[in-house]
């Protein structure tokens, strides 16, 4: 020991406490909780930490070094830190995996399907492609994250998988044993089926494969404690909707349509599936509703009334009110923002399309009546986990 006046145990406690404030940049939990701190010594104001990385060649060494140094040098008398990096053994990684899964569970479980899950799950569906389902999904995700909610998106659209691009996700998921860490962008955790299909080969997904992929996305991805999970479904529902109902019976379906859609047809199909799977239809979003002209008038490029007709028709089919949650105008900035990887609700929040999307997000961030009395992490402004 150096010239510290504090008793050794107190100083060591302080260092331990300081280390507990440092999160692993990827897993976003304290390094002490993750079993990454193998040990430390302190001498002449210098803390030497033996740190175990989850994988060799972890690119986050610099960040860890900076964060640990910042944390321990807050302690009076500590002037620096030296990190000796090691790598976890197979056994240590397994232990970490168990910690992350929240216990000794051997079977992969889908946290969102557990009784008492606080996560509200929205499956975004449409009758056909090109109606803006992915654009609506990523904007709602970004808008909800902006409100301080913890948000995840599963891109289950095997034909499109455009969600990562629209959210500007740069990095692939990483692995700890058989746990998958989702990359994050704009505060949204993202997993796409496209991240698991080699190259850009057009993969023909059959029902069972799709079911397994979806199960893996939900069980093996470390999502943490989500307030909202959004799923971008392939157009036309079908196989995925049935799988989803089995895997996530509490998922609520959000229907995206345009004013022009063969409204009755869309409604009938979505309604039939919801009836069959006993899933709740949370509402309808009409996209590409009109184009605002320079003189302020609205040009109804694709006609009018599709969203309202779908909502009314669904209400009749399922026998419960299915509201029209919003009408999103056509705006080239929606596409540009998506292409640039920053959804319009973040890139240009005062645009009418962004405001309309924000209003839909507000409606989705509300407590569900049937869940009153159960813990639900919505409307909490402080971000958790
Ligand atoms: N409200 C809108 N205004 C302008 N362009 C839009 C709007 N909504 C979607 N788009 C564009 O239309 C195209 C199809 O949208 P996308 O979200 O990929 O649809 P889907 O997921 O239903 O296939 C994209 O190029 C997107 O940028
Ligand atoms: Mg899409």
Give the atom of ligand 1 at the shortest distance from the alpha carbon of 128: 22
CATH tag, 113-364: 3.40.50.300
CA–CA distance, 135 with 169 (Å, rounded to integer): 15
Residue among 128, 130, 132 to mutate when testing ligand 1 (max atoms within 8 A of CB): 132
Q: Starting from the CA of residue 255, give the closest ligand.
A: 1
pLDDT band of 118, cuts 50, 70, 90:
confident
Residues with CB under 6 A from ligand 1: 126, 129-135, 160, 162, 287-288, 328, 330-331, 334-335, 338, 353
Q: How many angstroms does the Cα of residue 130 sit away from the middle of ligand 1?
A: 6
Residue 311 CA to residue 243 CA, distance in Å, equals: 24
* Residue closest by Cα to atom 25 of ligand 1: 335
Q: 345-364 pLDDT, tens per residue? A: 999 999 999 999 999 999 99
Which pLDDT tens digit goes with each residue over 360-376?
Answer: 999 999 754 444 333 34
Name the more confident of 71 and 30: 71
- Look at residues 307, 332, 54 and name the one whose alpha carbon lies nearest to residue 180: 54
The CA dihedral of 193, 199, 202, 208, to the nearest 10 degrees, is -40
Q: Whose CA is nearest to atom 16 of ligand 1?
A: 132
Measured in angstroms, how far is the CA atom of residue 334 from the centroid of ligand 1? 7
How much is the pLDDT for 174?
A: 86
Gap between the Cα atoms of 321 and 40, Å rounded? 60
State pLDDT tens for residues 217-273.
888 899 988 999 999 988 875 667 778 888 888 899 999 998 886 655 776 677 777
Residues in binding site for ATP: 127-134
Write down the pLDDT at residue 178: 72
Output the CA 118–ligand 2 centroid distance in Å. 27
Task: Label residue 143 by pLDDT band (50, 70, 90).
Answer: very high
Name the residue with the closest Cα to ligand 1, atom 27: 335
pLDDT digits 0-9 by tens, 279-311: 889 999 999 999 988 888 888 888 888 888 889
Asked if residues 227 and 119 have their Cβ atoms less than 8 Å apart, the reply is yes
Look at domain 8-103 and name its CATH class. Answer: alpha beta
pLDDT on residue 351: 96
The domain locations on the chain are 8-103, 113-364
């Amino acid at each position: 020991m150096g010239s510290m006046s504090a008793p050794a145990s107190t100083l060591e406690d302080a260092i331990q406490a300081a280390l507990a404030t440092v999160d692993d940049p990827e897993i976003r939990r304290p390094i002490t909780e993750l079993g990454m701190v193998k040990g430390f010594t302190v001498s002449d104001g210098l803390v030497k930490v033996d740190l175990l990385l989850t994988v060799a060649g972890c690119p986050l060494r610099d960040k860890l070094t900076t964060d640990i140094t910042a944390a321990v040098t807050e302690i009076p008398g500590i002037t620096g830190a030296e990190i000796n990096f090691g790598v976890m053994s197979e056994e240590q990684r397994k232990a970490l995996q168990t910690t992350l899964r929240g216990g000794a569970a051997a079977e992969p479980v889908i946290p969102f399907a557990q009784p008492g899950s606080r996560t509200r799950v929205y499956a975004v569906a449409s009758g056909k492609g090109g109606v803006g389902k992915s654009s609506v999904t990523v904007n709602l995700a970004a808008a909800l994250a902006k409100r301080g909610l913890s948000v995840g998106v599963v891109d289950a659209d095997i034909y499109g998988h455009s969600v990562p691009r629209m959210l500007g996700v740069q990095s692939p998921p990483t692995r700890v044993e058989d746990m998958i860490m989702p990359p994050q962008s704009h505060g949204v955790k993202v997993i796409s089926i496209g991240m698991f299909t080699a190259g850009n080969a057009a993969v023909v997904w059959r029902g069972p494969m799709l079911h397994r992929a979806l199960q893996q996305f939900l069980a093996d991805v470390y999502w943490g404690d989500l307030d909202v999970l959004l799923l971008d479904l392939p157009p036309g529902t079908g196989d995925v909707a049935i799988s989803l109902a089995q895997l996530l019976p509490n998922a609520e379906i959000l229907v995206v349509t345009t004013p022009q859609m063969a409204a009755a047809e869309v409604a009938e199909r979505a309604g039939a599936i919801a009836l069959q799977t006993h899933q709740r239809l949370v509402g309808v979003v009409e996209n590409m509703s009109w184009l605002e002209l320079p003189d302020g008038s609205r040009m109804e490029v694709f006609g009018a009334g599709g969203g309202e007709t779908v909502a009314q028709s669904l209400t009749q089919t399922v026998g419960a009110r299915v509201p029209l949650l919003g009408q999103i105008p056509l705006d080239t900035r929606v596409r540009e923002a998506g292409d640039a990887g920053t959804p319009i609700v973040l890139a240009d929040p005062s645009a009418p399309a962004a405001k309309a999307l924000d209003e839909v997000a507000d409606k989705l961030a509300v407590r569900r009546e049937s869940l009153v009395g159960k813990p639900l992490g919505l409307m909490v402004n402080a971000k958790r986990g």
